[in-house]
Structure 1
Amino acid sequence: MVLFKNSPALRLIGLLAGVVLLILVLLASVLLGHQNFSVQQLWQAYSQFNGSNEHLILLNTRVPRAIIAAMVGASLALAGAIMQVITKNPIASPSVFGINSGAVLFIVIGLAAYGSSLTMGSMVWIAFVGAGVTALFVYVLSMQGGARYEPVKLTLAGASVAAFASSITSGIILIKKDSLETALFWMIGSVSGRQLEHLVIVLPYMVIGWIIALLLSASLNVVALGDEIAQGLGQRIMLIRGIAAAVIVLLAGSSVAVAGPIAFVGLIVPHLCRYIVGTDHRWLLPYCALAGALLLVGADLASRFIIISKEVPVGVATALIGVPFLIHVARRSKHA
């Protein structure tokens, strides 16, 4: 069942409604928390800044946090949607396939080697290399024992690499204790404490990834029909998969570089959006970007109230939603 099936007008209205909802959720994320603010205070923080604690919290903490959550959520959702179509695996996502864990491992290795001298720009490139190497390794590992592609083998390879990368990361932190505090900043998976300066460094890579993903949407529709049909229609399957893999590395790597390994956004959002707009990627990808931003901003807002006395990382909130959803998708695929 598709909610807006064969109705471009309803899909457009839904997209516009989602934009309005995202603005409202962003506003709520800025204003609400253990300390609440008013719209007037937010306006005065920009128009009549007086250096008060309220204005500093709004400008240096709440606004950057909300914007970063929206950008990272959109990127992870797009990466998940593309992974699911090119791998033909309904549970594919950067977190499930270990790409996030691989990027974090490389960042922790860099921090252990260079410490505080490692710049944010260097971390971005390290995250990209980690994401790319992990993706390649998972693919090669899944092809062992026969050249035929099998989604189950790819999933097992991804889960194994994710566990391996997480174990090595923990081991490095235990050995290199002087890098513990900085490394944990990346391992937690949170948008708290991040600054707009961090986002500015990775934003160009995110935007490039978004643009290429949207340009690739028509080709993804053909690839979803199957390799033989796609080749019969003149599509260059290997080229499309190569470009798609580069987009995934750009989006996942930049997201990890700024916010750490936030799981399940890339898994949950594409499935929800397919229920709304179907499998046409020309509509699905914009919906995924919007819904991913909504999910992560909303999860970050909810994470402030899970424990009354203090906030928890947004990764905890997404895991509370994502683990049951993963089980549901796996059970549905088994009975399909």
Structure 2
Amino acid sequence: MTLEPQASAPSSRLSRRIAVLAVGCALLFLCIVGSFLVGSSHISVESVLTYLQHPDGSNDSYIVNELRKTRTLLGVLVGVCLAVAGAVMQAVTRNPLADPGLLGVNAGASLAIAVGAAVFAAHSTVAQFFLALAGACIASLIVYLVGNAGPYGGTPVRLVLAGVAFSTAAGGATSALLMINPTAFNTFRFWDVGALTRTDISLLGLLVPALAGLGIIASIVPGLSALALGDDAATALGTRVKTVRALALLALTLLCAVATAAAGPIGFVGLMVPYFAGVLVGAHRGWIIATCAVLGPVLVLSADILGRVLVRPAEMQVGLLTAFVGSPVLLLLVYKMRGIKR
């Protein structure tokens, strides 16, 4: 009889995790519906349903079938990419406060946008997309090479330090370029705020690298769970630590590059969602990643919907709202960890 509670514990934990995913999927469905129905311009529910089934050349039909549909799809994609990348980053660095931006992805993308605008007069959205994608990938490559240099390279601390150093240098270079080139600044500021309002980029072009990153992560989930225990423990369990870490960095670079190129640098999603996913489903890395894939879009779409109604008829961008919510959450996490010794 004493074994019954112990035997039922795994079943209870599994039921809780499934329930969390089910609730998350329901919330995501509601957010997707809300993203179509709610906007800075008022269109009735009946009209939205009519335009979705029978689009015409009217302005309201364009808003529903182009603007709202595109930003809804972008919100789902960006939310998945940022939240899953955050979960992977926290596993690789063994730091619950780690954010994908620590690898310098956002800084690299920003620098590429600034260079493109200042030097090559690249002001179009399509040009910004490819510049941000290239800048994010180059930044992660530089951070990885520097972090792995030397006999003591490859540790989480070295990677984070390399990322912070690169972000600082890239941020200074970006600021210098923007200060001496007003045209580049005018182009950059619309991208830097973080928004889901772009309609002239290829969703298929975004989906391919995103699926590649998610596929890599799915293949190394056991290794990520082992890495979260520490390099020595992971090695003892038969994990090829450097290989798993390299694949993880490649995957989260692809995910962050897609999100940053599509919507600009949206902060705190990769920090908040993995933390709360861990609180809800426990320490199992596979369940955390699955939960992040559901809750990430919920956060991004919720922020986008809220931004449409707070300052009607204008809009508040997603990046501003996530920063507004994420900053207090970060302070709370730091406060809760004040007594933890590492």
TM-score, normalised relative to structure 1: 0.88
What's the CA shift string for 1:122-162, capped at 9, x where partnerless? 65554344223333544666689993777677656544543
SS of the residue corresponding to residue 202 of structure 2 reads helix
Q: Could you say if the C-alpha distance between residues 130 and 153 of structure 1 is closer, same or farther in structure 2, counting changes exceeding 3 Å? A: same
* 2:183 alignment partner AA: D
Using the alignment, how far apart are the partners of 1:324 and 1:151 within structure 2?
26
Give the match for residue 328 of structure 2: 324
Asked if the contact 1:230–1:237 (Cα under 8 Å) also holds between the matched residues in 2, the reply is yes
- For the pair 1:277 / 2:277, whether they are aligned, the reply is no
User: 2:193 maps to which residue?
Assistant: 188
Quick check: 1:299–1:317 contact (8 Å CA) kept in 2? yes
1:31 maps to which residue? 37
Report if aligned partners of 2:303, 2:322 keep a CA contact under 8 Å in 1: yes
Letter in 1 for 2:271: L
Q: Does 1:218 align with 2:229?
A: no
Partner Cα distance (1:293, 1:5) in 2: 28
Alignment of 1:1-336 (within 5 A): 7-116=13-122, 120=126, 123-138=128-143, 147=152, 158-192=163-197, 194-195=198-199, 197-308=201-312, 310-336=314-340
Aligned-partner Cα distance in 2 for 1:93–1:5: 32
Shift of 1:284: 1.1
% identical equivalent positions: 33
Shift of 1:27: 1.3
Q: 1:326 to 1:179 in 2, by over 3 A?
A: same
- Structure 2 SS opposite 1:147: coil
Q: 1:59 to 1:308 in 2, by over 3 A?
A: closer
Normalising to structure 2: TM-score of the pair?
A: 0.86
Q: Determine if contact 2:82/2:269 at 8 Å carries over to the other structure.
A: yes
* Structure index of larger Rg: 2
292-301 or 179-188, which moves further after superposition? 179-188
| Partner Cα distance (1:240, 1:183) in 2 | 35
Deviation, 1:212, is: 1.6
- SS in structure 2 at match of 1:95: helix
Cα separation, 2, equivalents of 1:136 and 1:303: 35
Q: Aligned-residue CA RMSD in angstroms?
A: 2.8
SS in 1 for 2:120: helix
Partner of 2:212: helix, strand, or coil? helix
Cα deviation, residue 119, structure 1: 7.7
Gap runs ≥5 in structure 2: 1-9
- Shift of the alpha carbon at 1:226? 1.5
Displacement of 1:178: 3.1
CA distance in 1 between partners of 2:240 and 2:87 (Å): 20
Q: Which runs of 5+ in 1 are unaligned?
A: none
Q: Distance in 2 between matches of 1:196 and 1:16?
A: 34
Q: What is the SS of the residue equivalent to 1:304? A: helix
- Residues in 1 aligned to 2:137 and 2:289: alpha-carbon distance in whole angstroms: 22
Change (3 A) 1:32 1:5: farther
Task: Specify the SS of the correspondent of 1:312.
Answer: coil
